[in-house]
Structure 1
Amino acid sequence: MLLNELPDDVLLLILEKCSAQDLSSLAQTCVRITQLTHVDSLWKALCRKEYNVKTLGNIKTYYCLYSELLYSYGWMLGTFLCRTTPRGGLLEVQYCDGMIQGIQWIVSSKSLKDPLDKVLMFEIAESDRHPQCLVPYASLHTAQIRKINSDKFVYKCKEKARHQRQIFCTQKHENIFKGIAYKRLNFPKEIPSSLKLKDGSPSPQIITPWLFIAEYGSH
């Protein structure tokens, strides 16, 4: 029996075992297979398996979510460290409401009992060709992310003039224009129960208020 002679439900069971690259290749074989490779349940499973993304947000289909956002930027999801940045050294990249967001966790108080505050540094939407820099006190503008490998990248603001009025835009805080290097922070396999959901899976936002405390200037 030829592959094209199999019923749709059997073909879908086979396609469920395929990677995104395999599905893209099979989509070029014939009209029927092309239609089946666009069944959204296949891409929903891939979004969850490869990137642990379980919701669509504002994007219409899981195929669009995968092909137009996660395929290019899904590798960034996770938590990263850096040594030189005016906003602290801990960056959490997460998927939220149809966008990939970069959240910088910063020390805002001298008290050891106060939690870290979060600042939205950048976001990437489905239709964006480049990340949008969202650093406070500057209007929305383009940023650049250069991938070194799946665990390292460099973030750089491309429009310095937009930051001229920022309170931290001083000579010693120009790393954001030269490029900030981030390295992935790998959490231990055994995650504390307090950071797990009811079903036992890790929380989509590992870093939460009161999880970290620090002394001002310790980063």
Structure 2
Amino acid sequence: MKLSPTAVRQSRIERGWSQEQLAIASGLSLRTVQRVESEGIASLSTAASLAATYGIPLLQLQETLAASEPRPFGRGVVAVFYLGVAVLMLAAVGESGRLPGDRMSTGILATDILVAVVGAALAIPAAVRLVRAGHFTGVILAALGMPLVTLLCGGLLVSALAHRIPMWQLLGIGGCGLALVGMSARALLQGQKPGPNTIRLWTPPSRQPD
């Protein structure tokens, strides 16, 4: 039977129970409770036990309530989003260095446009999927942080070629960008769908009711 993981988890949280307490109250193992809250798959007896423990109809825990749940996404979606934003920043850097009166200006402009189109084709669909999954904050943080990181990388490259020490203002701005990107990655990766090869380093032992 398919249950809504969000409905099962929310019902437990509303009662102030931990997963261990729910397992004891319902007569289920801790592993079963964890599986239901992560995958939403339960036998009829398990679903009936949870509904009886919560004191609610079984229909409130079923898939019909999960229509509004954000769809999980894989790590690849996050990687494609960051790659697309990075490509867009590369196009912006190329355009900023273009000289309008130069003979190569038209060719550079065409290249920048092509790179920008590729970046948008990568970033926009991934960003839409992430926003629909409820991770608007992570997308905004990435949009704010990536330009600063790009500025940092460009400044470090110029400083290295000129054999100069980077300005502290550049390092400060770049550090802020790295912090924003780090917070964005943390926010986005919290909603990813575990892959089939995900390794769990430790699983709490199940506790049986006395």
Normalised-by-shorter TM-score class: under 0.3
Q: Give the number of the structure whose residues are more often strand, by fraction.
A: 1
Q: Give the number of the structure whose residues are more often helix, by fraction.
A: 2
Normalising to structure 2: TM-score of the pair?
Answer: 0.23
Higher RCO structure (Cα 8 Å, ≥6 apart): 2
Normalising to structure 1: TM-score of the pair?
Answer: 0.23
User: Max radius of gyration: which structure?
Assistant: 2
